[in-house]
């Protein structure tokens, strides 16, 4: 339940960036693939924006987590498939648009996933990739950048923390022509919102406590300072998000 609530909060936080991605997809029919679709919210949005004019397919490797929701969202032109991004159960050159939002930061082998993504895209297909550059994350308390070592540790717990920076290079590896690489500043000015979006809950901080028990008091002081700076209106979490639009 907690993860589902957090995903909806993230969806609301990201909605303007998602709308930018929808715009870049320039959907005009055919088959649209949302690779790493999660609960399927974007698949349904895309389909509803083009009633009767396209087929929308969502693929994610966690059917045990999203399967019930997928059944509720299914429509004549909407389908979901459980599969790994590195081995897609699709024919060559079958997709008119391929979108992957915050997928490549998590996959085991981004290059392999990109090969599959390019394989299923038709010649001339539009590809839109969006991902976070976690390695650029920084926290400011007033004019002071604070907790850099903890932010580096947080980034180290994410499989491909610099995915956002690498999207264009990964496209080039598989012969996709990049025509836009857009870096967007992400600013969160509320510590509570940062928690709700998953930056400080039951993830890297708990892992840090387990791996570095002797430094746990320093982590506690770090979190206390963040809460204090938030009360003073001085908290800011900054990072970069990248959107790449390419064509096969």
For residue 164, give the CATH number of its domain.
3.40.50.150
* Any domain includes 226: no
* Any domain includes 27: yes
For residues 56 and 34, the answer to whether their CB atoms sit within 8 Å is yes
* Any domain includes 139: no
For residues 94 and 122, the answer to whether their CB atoms sit within 8 Å is yes
Question: What local confidence, expressed as pLDDT, does residue 2 receive?
Answer: 45
* Any domain includes 149: no
Total number of domains constituting the chain: 1
Helix and strand element counts for the chain (H, E): 10, 8
- Mean model confidence pLDDT for the chain: 92
61-79 confidence digits (pLDDT tens): 988 888 888 999 988 999 9
Q: Where are the beta strands (DSSP E) in 93-176?
A: 95-101, 121-141, 144-146
Question: What local confidence, expressed as pLDDT, does residue 9 receive?
Answer: 87
Of the two residues 51 and 160, the one the predictor is more confident about is 160
Among 45-49, 51-55, 97-101, 163-167, the least confident range? 51-55
pTM of the model: 0.92
**Range from 10-19, 117-126, 136-145 that averages highest in pLDDT:** 117-126
Question: Quick one: pLDDT band at residue 201, thresholds 50, 70, 90?
Answer: low
* Any domain includes 119: yes
Domain extent for 45: 2-134+159-188+239-247
- Answer whether residue 103 shows pLDDT above 60: yes
* Any domain includes 96: yes
Q: What is the mean pLDDT of residues 119-126?
A: 98
Question: Quick one: pLDDT band at residue 1, thresholds 50, 70, 90?
Answer: very low
């Amino acid at each position: 339940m907690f993860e589902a609530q957090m995903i909806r909060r993230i969806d609301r936080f990201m909605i303007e960036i998602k709308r930018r991605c929808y715009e870049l997809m320039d959907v005009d029919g055919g088959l649209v693939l949302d690779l790493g679709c999660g609960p399927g919210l974007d698949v349904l949005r895309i389909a509803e924006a083009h009633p009767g004019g396209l087929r929308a397919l969502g693929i994610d490797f966690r059917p045990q987590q999203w399967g019930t929701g997928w059944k509720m969202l299914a429509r004549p032109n909407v389908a979901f498939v459980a599969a790994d991004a590195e081995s897609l159960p699709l024919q060559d050159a079958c997709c008119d648009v391929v979108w992957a939002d915050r997928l490549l930061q998590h996959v085991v082998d981004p290059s392999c996933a990109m090969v599959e993504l390019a394989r299923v895209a038709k010649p001339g297909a539009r590809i839109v990739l969006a991902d976070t550059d976690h390695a650029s994350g920084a926290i400011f308390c007033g004019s002071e950048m604070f907790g850099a070592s903890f932010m580096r540790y947080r980034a180290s717990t994410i499989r491909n923390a610099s995915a956002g920076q690498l999207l264009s290079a990964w496209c080039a590896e598989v012969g996709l022509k990049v025509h836009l690489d857009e870096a967007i500043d992400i600013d969160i000015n509320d510590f509570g919102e940062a928690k709700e979006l998953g930056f400080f809950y039951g993830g890297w901080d708990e892992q840090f406590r387990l791996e570095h028990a002797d430094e746990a008091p320093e982590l506690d002081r770090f979190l206390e300072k963040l809460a204090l700076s938030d009360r003073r209106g001085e908290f800011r979490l900054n990072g970069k998000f990248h959107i790449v639009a390419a064509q096969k």
